[in-house]
Structure 1
Amino acid sequence: MTASEPHVIFKKQDGIAYITLNRPEKRNAFSPEMLVRLCDIWRDVAADNSIRVALVTGAGNQAFSSGGDLGSVIPLMMRTREPVGEWEERFSSDRRQLYRAILRGTEFFKPVVSAINGHALAGGAEFVLATDIRVMAETATIGVTEVRRGLIAGGGSLVRLARQVPWATAMELALVGEPLTAAHALATGLVNRVVSQDQVLPMAEELARKISLGAPVALAKTKEAMVRSNGLPFDEAFKIEAQCTKDNAATADAKEGPRAFMEKRPPVYTGQ
């Protein structure tokens, strides 16, 4: 990467938002620039009705992301030094951007596929846990390693882990801090697919393309119902599901899908 290249590469194509963490020489560690750009990108993707799904990966073949840059992001988060330059100033104006950048929270409902091309550690693993469908290179590892640095995995992992994998596995990941192999991650259900490194992005793209065949609102409302109802008693969960179903039924796309099926033609969805 040259000095002029952005720390995140972003493009849109055929209903898919492609997001590439672009600091391969730093194992795609989160920089202030990367985090600020990611926040801007998620706002863009959320507002764009043409985008059905996002695909996140890391540049190079060594790392998806190694988490927060210990020389810039962590000192700024802990307020142990003053910001220098535009990106550090923008990041320091609202340090919660770290959490929004890696989708900590439940307000982003478009599907996200992660192509885990290399090691996903600390904040990088937390970012993976915020994604919905995960494709991992057989040579990669994933680990919530913060405790070994005297830190806590407060980017969503302490809430998400036990909802995504068995309790004992969640506690091992959080407390031992040792990365799991791709095979172990697959066996525990932490990832959907494990493939050779050269097939990670093609497989993730294939899954993203299949997702993009759905109607934008139907996709987002499906994810919203599943995320918001997770862990709630059935009565409360069914209310959320019913509201999401009602919201989607009011869209033009909900009428277009059945009409296109009856007319034996591909549906034309507008996100309305």
Structure 2
Amino acid sequence: MPVNFEIINGVATITIDRPEARNSIDREAAIAIDAAIKQIESDSAIRVGIITGAGGNFCAGMDLKAFLRGETVRLPDSGFAGVTQAKRTKPLIAAVEGYALAGGFEIALACDMVVASEEAQFGLTEAKRGLVANAGGLVRLPRQLPIKIATQLVLVGDLHPASLLATHGLINVVTPKGGALDGALELARKIAANGPLAVAVGRQVLNESLEWPADELFDRQNAITAAVFASEDAKEGARAFAEKRAPVWRGV
């Protein structure tokens, strides 16, 4: 199988397992990742997802051999690799070792957070192959990085270390080599321990509010977040705090 899927204590880990091809994406891998993302969304026991790669690399993007064979790695409802245009309500964390190139970088950009080892290398290399980063690179980078840094990444196509991108806020945690997955799991466990309704609504407002008019920010936010304050989980959180115990979330 080109993808492994594991669920432990509310955290699901998707591992792209094509190390012989630096975890590049062929059609079989794209379909498998898409199925895993959909399972994360549909299973109420899963609170957080992680996507990573086997064998010391994250993902080198589209498998060019598969491209030449005519394989389609962009799915109609979820985009490249079943990730870049997927409709998600739950957090997804990229755990990056080694190379995150082209579409692999775009998978990371589609995630809510990125944990990368100090030896990880990121690059939108499409222009070097006569292609463009239209699986999210062109539209997400200027929303996540200063425009001049984004322009350099897109037009030059060189590789950049995790440490540099972290200085611009693109990476949440930089770990020692081999530590990206452990770092992502640490973040995921903390998120999974929080109220699922609060996490989902918080993520929704963070993402959607980027496009809201300034004079509507609070009205739109309040309309969405009102349900959280009226929820059973909000009451449970308060009770658990008062009783000095861990909350038991119901997601309602």
Structure 2: how far apart are the matches of 1:42 and 1:270? 22
Hey, what's the Cα distance between the residues in 1 that align with 2:62 and 2:217? 35
2:198 alignment partner in structure 1: 218
Residue matched to 1:64 = 58
Distance in 1 (alpha carbons) for counterparts of 2:5 and 2:47 = 15
Q: In the alignment, does 2:104 pair up with 1:104?
A: no
2:25 is the alignment partner of 1:25: no
Residue in structure 2 matched with residue 163 of structure 1 by the alignment: 143
Give 1:148's aligned amino acid: K
Q: Secondary structure at the match of 1:198?
A: coil
* Residue in structure 2 matched with residue 142 of structure 1 by the alignment: 122
Query: Are 2:25 and 2:81, in contact at CA under 8 Å, matched by a contact in 1?
Result: no
TM-score (normalizing by structure 1): 0.86
Counterparts of 1:149-228 in structure 2, within 5 Å, are 149-228=129-208
- 3-state secondary structure, aligned to 2:179: helix
- Point out where structure 1 has 5 or more consecutive residues left out of the alignment: 1-5
Check conservation: 2:109, 2:140, Cα contact below 8 A: yes
Answer whether contact 2:77 2:85 (CA < 8 A) is retained. Answer: no
Is residue 213 of structure 2 the alignment partner of residue 233 of structure 1? yes
SS at 1:120's partner residue? strand
CA distance in 2, matches of 1:112, 1:148: 29
Tell me if structure 2 keeps the 8 A contact 1:102–1:155.
Answer: no
Q: Quote the Cα distance in structure 1 between the aligned partners of 2:79 and 2:198.
A: 29
Is 2:35 the partner of 1:7? no
What is the DSSP-based 3-state SS (H/G/I as helix, E as strand, rest coil) of the residue aligned with 2:174?
A: strand
Counterparts of residues 35-114 of structure 1 (less than 5 Å) = 35-61=30-56, 63-72=57-66, 74-75=67-68, 81=70, 95-99=76-80, 101-104=82-85, 107-114=87-94
Q: What are the superposed Cα offsets for residues 189-214 of structure 1, whole Å, 9 maximum, x if unpaired?
A: 11112221122221111111111111
Shift of 1:35: 0.7
C-alpha distance in 2 between matches for 1:218 and 1:12: 21
Q: 1:124 & 1:204 partners in 2: Cα distance? A: 17
8 Å contact from structure 2 (residues 84, 106) kept in 1: no
**RMSD, aligned CA:** 1.9
Q: 1:186 Cα deviation (Å)?
A: 1.3
Does the CA contact (< 8 Å) of 2:37 and 2:83 recur in 1?
no
Q: Structure 1 135/224 Cα, relative in aligned 2: closer, same or farther at 3 Å?
A: same
Residue 131, structure 1, aligned to residue 111, structure 2: yes
User: What is the CA-CA distance between 1:43 and the residue it aligns to?
Assistant: 1.3
The aligned amino acid for 1:114 is A
Stretches of structure 2 that go unaligned for 5 or more consecutive residues are none
Query: Percent identity among equivalent residues?
Result: 38
- Of the structure 1 ranges 206-215 and 250-259, higher mean CA displacement relative to structure 2 is found in 250-259
| TM-score for both structures, normalised by structure 2 | 0.93
- Specify the code of the residue in structure 2 equivalent to 1:159: V
Are the equivalent residues in 2 in contact too, given 1:54–1:112 (CA < 8 A)? yes
Letter matched to residue 31 of structure 2: V
Aligned residues: 252
Q: Which amino acid aligns with 1:207?
A: L
Runs of 4+ in 1 over 3 A off after TM superposition: 94-100
| 1:47 counterpart letter in structure 2 | S
Q: Is the 8 A contact 2:236 2:247 kept in 1?
A: yes
Deviation, 1:99, is: 3.4
SS at match of 1:230: helix
